[in-house]
Amino acid sequence: MTMRPRDDIDAQILRELTKNARIPLVTLGNRVRLSRNAVKQRIERLERDGVIEGYTLVRGSDADTHDRPISAVLFVYRTDRMRGADVLATLAEVPEVIRCDILTGDYDLFVLLEARSVERIKEVWESIAAIPGVKNTVTSLSLSTTIRHSPPAGD
């Protein structure tokens, strides 16, 4: 079970780490008005309590574009949107599926894919389209990323 920050200082620390996980402890301490050691102890407690589950790297636009994954969005229509749990279970097993949302409206599922190549996106799309219970798909490839925000702290 993920715990919540204990107080406003924890929430401030989380906001600052979300903006820059490599912020020096001294700088972070100055921003939240605590000593370096007190900030370090709070971060360690937040990690132990499961409030902070990990840190990630976001590649900049100057990074080698050959190493960047290709992104695609699939909108999936299921044969039976109320009893389509088997489709969700199958999608959960696909490593290139990094997000799947159940939608209201015309589409049943929003599926975000990331893969090493367009060819791999095509293979994954073909396998998803062949899942029993999938009626149809609409797919779009991402040409470039112009805005990428981290989720707000506390969500």
What's the helix, strand, coil split of the chain in %, to 5? 35, 20, 45
pLDDT, tens digit, for every residue of 11-50? Answer: 899 988 888 888 999 999 999 999 999 999 999 999 998 8
Return the pLDDT at 21.
87
3-state DSSP call for residue 34? coil
| CA atoms of 153 and 90, how far apart (whole Å) | 31
